[in-house]
Structure 1
């Protein structure tokens, strides 16, 4: 029996990149910066994330650079041939099964920060 589950909480390092395939599949890729609570360095760990289909559509619509998100997925090692050198390469990628949007709309939209003047709560 094996277990391959990854849980991460961090901030999107860039806006999502989305690809639509003729088969109807949707792929969304995002990088995720995760700070180590015990690290003395300010440098985060970076992870490459892949979302597919409905989760990809949600990520492409709601995740932006700096968004706080939580993910659950599985670790895969992808291999490819470097276009420039022809050398075989490999790297870890997390295939995301679940996406949690942890920030509020107010966090995502810098134009709203500081502009609320009071009145009715929402």
Structure 2
């Protein structure tokens, strides 16, 4: 039996990059910084990929520094580098559920998307990794 499930709470490292397709679907890509238990450690960075209605929520409400909770799975993106011809890969978290955890003011009027389950609260400025 295999399990591929990721649950993270952290802050958006940049505004989402949104792409629209002729089929009508859309994808939002962004990074997320997750602090370690010790404040002396550097945060871990994750690449996020969000599809569909939740991608629209990310496009409308997520900005650099927004506090997010996500549930998703890890996939490995693979491609051939155009300049060197080398095979490349990077891990990406495909988000199944996105939660906006900051205050309404932080999220410009947004609320949780997809129900509760992560808790809330805003960390102090010391906890923001950038």
Is the TM value for this pair above 0.5?
yes
Match of 2:120 in 1: none
Displaced runs of 4 or more, over 4 A: none
1:89–1:108: structure 2 CA closer, same or farther, 3 Å change rule? same
1:33 maps to 33
Distance 1:6 1:24, change over 3 A: same
Structure 2 unaligned spans of 5+: 109-130
Aligned to 2:104: 105
| In 2: Cα distance, 1:104 partner to 1:83 partner | 42
Distance 1:84 1:66 in 2: 33
Q: Provide closer, same or farther for how the CA distance between residues 108 and 57 of structure 1 changes in structure 2, counting only shifts above 3 A.
A: closer
Offset at 1:86? Answer: 1.4
1:1-122 aligned at under 5 Å gives the runs 1-38=1-38, 40-41=40-41, 43-108=42-107
Q: Please give the per-residue CA displacement for 1:64-107, whole angstroms capped at 9, x wherever unaligned.
A: 00000000000001101112211100110000000000001323
Q: Could you tell me how far 1:108 is from its partner in structure 2? A: 4.5
Size of the aligned set, in residue pairs, is: 108
RMSD: 1.3
Could you say which structure has the larger radius of gyration? Answer: 1
Q: In structure 1, how many angstroms separate the alpha carbons of the residues matched to 2:69 and 2:16?
A: 15
Distance in 1, matches of 2:65 and 2:39, equals 20
Q: Is the 2:16–2:28 contact (alpha carbons within 8 Å) kept by the matching residues of 1?
A: yes
Check the 8 A contact 2:16/2:30 in 1, yes or no. yes
Q: Which runs of 5+ in 1 are unaligned?
A: 110-122
